[in-house]
Amino acid sequence: MNLNEYWEAARLFPGSTPFNRAISTSYEPGSVFKVLTMAAALDTGVVTPESTFYDTGEVECGGYWIHNWNYGAWGEQTMQGVCSTH
């Protein structure tokens, strides 16, 4: 696909998604930056792939509560688990 001819996407990709989701939809910053954060942590030796983290589903930060996307908790996770597609 020639990205300069974006109007051709519907013809080239018929079906339930008549647009290019990669350039037409916004994503949560955490979905993008968690991979970069994890790469930096692994690179500096702060964590290993086997390091664990207990996900409670929420964290309080500056008087505000930040929740997981589905308000659920994943419990004990390795660093490989926190970067998977939950």
1-27: per-residue pLDDT in tens? 788 888 887 788 777 666 677 777 776
| DSSP summary character for residue 74 | -
Supply the pLDDT for residue 40.
Answer: 94
φ/ψ of 28, rounded to 5, equals: -60, 135
In sequence order, which ranges of 1-86 are alpha helices (DSSP H)?
Answer: 9-12, 21-24, 29-44, 79-82
Token readout for 37 is 């954060």
Residue 7 to residue 9: CA distance in whole angstroms? 6
Supply the pLDDT for residue 15.
Answer: 72
Supply the pLDDT for residue 78.
Answer: 92
Q: What is the pTM of this model?
A: 0.55
